[in-house]
Amino acid sequence: MEYIKLNSYTVPYISLAAAVVGSGAAGLACADRLHRLGVRDIALVTEGMEMGTSRNTGSDKQTYYKLSLTGDREDSVVELAKSLSAGGAMHGDLALVEAAGSARAFLNLVELGVPFPTNDFGEYVAYRTDHDGGRGRATSCGPLTSRIMTERLEEAVRRNKIRVFDGCRAVEILTAGRKVTGLVAICRDYVTADNPLGLICFGTRSVVWATGGPAAIYAASVYPESQTGSHGVPFLAGAEGRNLTEWQYGIASLSPRWNLSGSYQQVIPRYYSIDARGTEREFLADVFDSPSELFGAVFRKGYEWPFDPRKCEGLSFDENARTYKIRPGGSSTVDLAVYAERAAGRRVYMDFTRNPDGYLPAHLPSDAREYLQASGAAGGKTPFERLCAMNRRAVEFFASHGVDLCTQPIEIDVCAQHNNGGFSVDVWYESTSLPGLYVIGEAAGVFGVTRPGGSALNSTQVGALRAAQRIASRTTSPAAEPPSESRGAALFDRLSSDGTHTLSAADILARRAAGGELMSRSAAFLRDPKAIVDAAAAARAELDAIEREILVMRGDFDALRELAIYYDTLITRYVYLCAMGEYIARGGISRGSYLIPGRPPGDDPLRNKICRVTLTSLSKPPVFEWEDARPIPQSEQWFEKIYNR
């Protein structure tokens, strides 16, 4: 480590072959892969080893999706690629890469000690998940699959003695001539009189951006609170985004934040709301025509967890006939009903202590009855007893957070869970607009309108391997000269003051939260066109006001860090809202996991179109371009050709 002058500050500087930003499943895997491929002069830069989605999240059975390694259902790389891209708007070459790398990525985790279960013969037995393809590909090691992945991957990183800069939040990607030259981060450990912002600078031609999803843009969110995301930084550096409009939203508990998919729904819990006077109501009974329909919808929500506008009461789309049909009792009707209750000011709960009104096993549709029987849960007298029989760990998870599902209901909402889009990357996960920037994991814009449950975790591992392979093949060029100027440092310098009237971290967090509420109301799974235009204008105004209204006390590192997150979130929100506006202006309809009122799902005019967005300057609106999704390529299959190459 040496010291350089950056703006007016004296700042530590480290020259590296590659810097990996983020310590989720993607970042840790990439650092480990780089090391194993012989690239040793690297560092992992993270705002917190214990932070992020992978480390802190899960569901009843958190799913990993890969090529089938069990049973007699046929599978192939191309079939898997077809399932990954079946929802539309996904490039076929990326689908092929994600499919081809899946077995290697999965078995690497197995070798690192991630305990995916096998039967007596060593087959990785599988179950059904959303948008699955029905080939026996989904597996899990329980509610905390991604946490276990990060723990085993972190052990590998520590074993390899890879340098970890923990507590460092990257605030700027440095570029010269549209190529990456380094990274600037802020870190409490480096705050000195000569460096009051705690800046640290990394000189490198390869930055791997593994910062996860842009969680902080929403208030109703099942991302862990420690995950905020950092999309503003690459946007400002010139990285192009794609498919930003495509998300997954679904029913989740608010405390702890947890996906209520799979067994939580399959045991048919009781849904109810409470109004301001304390009156309790089982509101789903008003929405469905019969108990059987209601229980069937709740049961199916288990494996149809993300909100889907085709699965709403009265709205369904027949893929074969390509027509819009009435289909009462669709499972996403439950999400709409939950939303309507909350919008009317009532709090909504899921309750495992009692059966819903009118519950009788005879009222269950046959698929639900058979599933409960096969899982040994049919005899349970309450949803809680059925859940204990079906998936004890799903109960234990809540108990470990102080919630006893045997006696306590849990408050719920329809929450943002995953962003299918992100930054545009090629088949080596290198940014298509900013050479030297690699984007992997959820930050990468890999998926299209839908994705099979579990494919996000596969993507973290495949992207990590591909980016590492690419960097390893290119690490000859030395790091660039140390920089003397940082735009990010200049902004934070202007917004720091030694005087009074400064904002605390809590004040800034409150502003971020208020914007998140607006975003969740206007631009989440319900996207009213006018509300989106208004929200984009509000985000723009907030961004413009930042230099007029925000001052933090110089040396108050908590406030500075919160300011960096707030600024990043505002840029991200603004670009995302503009992208949603662009989609609607282009005639986009309800699809994936969002409903645009007045535009029912159906024949999608943009099904195979991908929207790309660039922020050319902060003072101008983003620029959009549309391109056709590339088909799955006819890859070379002649062995000798590949072998000799």
Ligand X SMILES: Cc1cc2nc3c(=O)[nH]c(=O)nc-3n(C[C@H](O)[C@H](O)[C@H](O)COP(=O)(O)OP(=O)(O)OC[C@H]3O[C@@H](n4cnc5c(N)ncnc54)[C@H](O)[C@@H]3O)c2cc1C
Q: List residues near ligand X by CB under 6 A.
A: 21-27, 45-48, 51-54, 57-59, 62-63, 146, 169-170, 210-212, 222-223, 227, 230, 259, 417-418, 441-443, 453-457, 460
Q: How far is the CB of 415 from ligand X (least distance, A)?
A: 8
Going by C-alpha positions, the residue among 168, 174, 171, 170 that lies closest to residue 237 is 174
CA 445 to chain centroid: 11
3-state SS assignment for residue 462: helix
Q: How far is the CB of 140 from ligand X (least distance, A)?
A: 7
d(CA 212, CA 441): 6
Task: Specify the residue, 146 or 195, whose C-beta has the smaller distance to ligand X.
Answer: 146
Q: Which residue carries 């009461």 as its tokens? A: 313
CA distances from 420 to 47, 84, 440, 451 (A): 23, 11, 12, 8
Q: How far is the CB of 49 from ligand X (least distance, A)?
A: 7
Q: How far is the CB of 45 from ligand X (least distance, A)?
A: 6
Task: Specify the residue, 181 or 316, whose C-beta has the smaller distance to ligand X.
Answer: 181
Would you call 523 exposed, middle or buried from its count of C-beta atoms within 10 A (0-12, 13-18, 19+)? Answer: buried
Task: Specify the residue, 225 or 627, whose C-beta has the smaller distance to ligand X.
Answer: 225
Dihedral in degrees, nearest 10, Cα atoms 49, 170, 146, 213: 150
d(CA 380, CA 388): 9
Q: How far is the CB of 444 from ligand X (least distance, A)?
A: 8
Q: How far is the CB of 462 from ligand X (least distance, A)?
A: 12
Task: Specify the residue, 436 or 441, whose C-beta has the smaller distance to ligand X.
Answer: 441
Going by C-alpha positions, the residue among 447, 444, 461 that lies closest to residue 149 is 461
Task: Specify the residue, 211 or 496, whose C-beta has the smaller distance to ligand X.
Answer: 211
Dihedral in degrees, nearest 10, Cα atoms 484, 486, 489, 495: 120
Strand 163-166 relative to strand 138-139, pairing: unpaired
Beta-strand runs (E) in 558-597 = none
Task: Specify the residue, 303 or 317, whose C-beta has the smaller distance to ligand X.
Answer: 303
Task: Specify the residue, 22 or 622, whose C-beta has the smaller distance to ligand X.
Answer: 22
Going by C-alpha positions, the residue among 215, 589, 243 that lies closest to residue 447 is 243
d(CA 254, CA 257): 5
Q: How far is the CB of 169 from ligand X (least distance, A)?
A: 4
Q: Which helix (H) or strand (E) holds 4?
A: strand 2-6
Task: Specify the residue, 251 or 503, whose C-beta has the smaller distance to ligand X.
Answer: 251
Q: How far is the CB of 592 from ligand X (least distance, A)?
A: 15
For the CA atoms of the chain, what is the radius of gyration? 24
DSSP code per residue over 191-217: -BTTBTT-EEEEE-S-EEE-----GGG
Task: Specify the residue, 295 or 303, whose C-beta has the smaller distance to ligand X.
Answer: 303
Angle, CA 143 vertex, CA 137 and CA 145 arms, to 5°: 60
Q: How far is the CB of 25 from ligand X (least distance, A)?
A: 4
d(CA 305, CA 59): 11
Cross-strand pairs, 317: 324
Q: How far is the CB of 433 from ligand X (least distance, A)?
A: 19
Task: Specify the residue, 116 or 223, whose C-beta has the smaller distance to ligand X.
Answer: 223
Q: How far is the CB of 238 from ligand X (least distance, A)?
A: 17
Q: How far is the CB of 471 from ligand X (least distance, A)?
A: 17
d(CA 184, CA 301): 44
Going by C-alpha positions, the residue among 617, 148, 69, 525 that lies closest to residue 339 is 525
Task: Specify the residue, 208 or 297, whose C-beta has the smaller distance to ligand X.
Answer: 208
Neighbours of 326 (CB within 10 A): 9
Q: Which residue carries 């191309």 as its tokens? A: 78
Task: Specify the residue, 227 or 265, whose C-beta has the smaller distance to ligand X.
Answer: 227
